[in-house]
Structures are given as C-alpha cells and as structure tokens.
Amino acid sequence: MELIPLWEGASQEALLGHETFLPEITTTGKLRLIRNVRAPSLTVHTPDPSVATGTGVILCPGGSFATLPHWDDPEIDGIVRRLTEPGLTVFLLRYHLMPTPRDDGEFVRAIMSGTMDPIKAHARVAENDAFLAMRVVRERAASWAVDPWRVGIMGFSAGGLLTIVAATGYDADTRPDFAAPIYGTCFDPYTVPPDAPPLFVSFAGDDVGEGVVSSGLALYTAWHEAGRPAELHAYAEGGHRFASAPPGLPSSAWTDRFLDWLGHAGFLGRRGYRAASHP
C-alpha cells in the first residue's frame, strides 16, 4: 500500500489519526475506526497490469466527517477489490476530519448528543481535500500508468457529499472525468456546469439519512435538465451503507451496475458515449 501525503510536511500522527473502538454503537461487535486525521492522504491500489484500463477513481469513504474506516477495514478492502479486479486504479482518500475527544466514550456521547451543524461546517473544510486529490493524481498519473484525463471520483455518505462538490465546483485542472455519489447528501446549493462530468447516482429508498433520498433525486434531475449524462439507481431496500453490505438484496450488486455504466461510458474499453473532456 503506497501512502501519498497531500500536505507537504504533514506528520505521521496527522496523516494516520488514531485508532478507536466503538462498541456502544454497533450490534456486530467492536467497530474499528480512525479519528482525528488532521492531514489528507491517498493510498494507491493498483490492478493486475494484464487488465489495467488506465482509468483511475478517487474513492471517498464516509463517516460523518468525524471518523473514517480503519486502514485495514475489510468492507473498504472489499470495495477496492471489486473496483481493481476489472482494471481500475483506486486512490483511497483519507480527508482530514473534524477534531473529536480522544476518549472513545466521551466521543460517542458527544456525537449522540450533538447536532448536524458541526458536520455541515466541516464538510466545507474537507471539500478542498477532494480537489487537491484530483490535482495530485493528475500530476502524478504516469507513475501509476493512469491516463490523467480518465480520473473520476466516487464517494459514500459524507464522501458522497465530497463527490457532489467535486462534480460541481471544479476548475480546469480538477474536473473529474466521471462522478459517482453513493447515498450522498448535499447541504449547499450547486449549479450543474455546462461540461459537468457523467454522473452515476445510487441510494436506497429506505435510507433514513438526512436528505439522502431527496438529494439523490434532485441531483439526477438537475443533470438531466442540464442535458448532461446521468444514471440513477434507486433501490427499494438497502438502508445506509449498502455499498459494503453482504449479498442478499438487489442493492448489493451496485458495483456491477456501476461497472456496466462505466464501461458504456468508455472508461473500461467498451464503446459508448464519451463526455466532453480535456484535450
């Protein structure tokens, strides 16, 4: 696993945060997470060279901007594996998090008794990490055998919010070539740019997360009305975090639908529409 700091001179402690166990909020045993990441980084996961497509995807996990999956989290590892197997190079973004009490019990009490306001405020801070990640991947793409203009972004929950921002607030150097917010939400208004990237939106109708369903519907509608390519997969069931759920529901096949879409868009070597891109 290659660790790429996005801030020059960042300490290991700032990059790695600290490990935490949260038995109070899970019914499946201790939940192993990291918190208090103060500097963003990427870890690079490359495909087998025999199937490499030259397409990269920046992957943004969720965690309410307070936590991120542990470095060896099996659920994230499963998602990474499903994306690298068909030839994608995955850049896992660990964006910096809002500061929280170091004691696990104190942290849980603070989160459970708090409001969404600190999360919304920190979202605006973490947005810069997504743009910086896109810039760094483009600049160094050749070192991973990635085409700098075949780099997209995907995110889940809080990471989905970063994905939406990345797909609407970019400049000439940071425009993603595709974007896939998975059960993401958006707290601030946005405008669909004239050259907005192809969009893949997915969520479950029974997701009780604040604004997830309405944000997903509005996002697809905005792209459609702007005449930009978009695909929507709204599952009846799956709740929040279905991306890493075990098989059993149609939503567990979301990666198959995403890869079908990505291939049709031309990023896996199959024919299909191609969005206006950079020269």
pLDDT at residue 49 in the model: 92
**Nearest 5°: phi and psi at 59?**
-105, 120
Distance (Å) of CA 69 to CA 31, 150, 187, 196, 227: 9, 26, 23, 30, 36
Query: For the chain, what percent of residues have pLDDT higher than 70?
Result: 91
Mean pLDDT for the chain overall? 86
Could you tell me which residue, 120 or 64, shows the higher pLDDT?
64
The answer for 161, left when phi > 0, alpha when psi is -120 to 50, beta otherwise, is alpha
Residue 34: is its pLDDT beyond 70?
Answer: yes
pLDDT at residue 209 in the model: 81
pLDDT tens profile 70-102 = 877 777 888 999 999 999 999 999 998 888 888
Measured CA to CA, the distance from residue 14 to residue 3 in angstroms comes to 13
Encode burial over 37-52: b for 16+ CB neighbours within 10 A, e otherwise.
bebbbbbbbbbeeeeb
Residue 134 in tokens: 């896109």
Residue 269: is its pLDDT beyond 80?
Answer: no
pLDDT band at 23 (very low <50, low <70, confident <90, very high): low
Average pLDDT over residues 151-155: 97
Query: For the chain, what percent of residues have pLDDT higher than 90?
Result: 52
Average pLDDT over residues 20-42: 72
pLDDT band at 244 (very low <50, low <70, confident <90, very high): confident
pLDDT at residue 30 in the model: 59
What the chain holds in terms of domains, given with CATH numbers, is: 2-264 (3.40.50.1820)
Residue 8: is its pLDDT beyond 90?
Answer: no
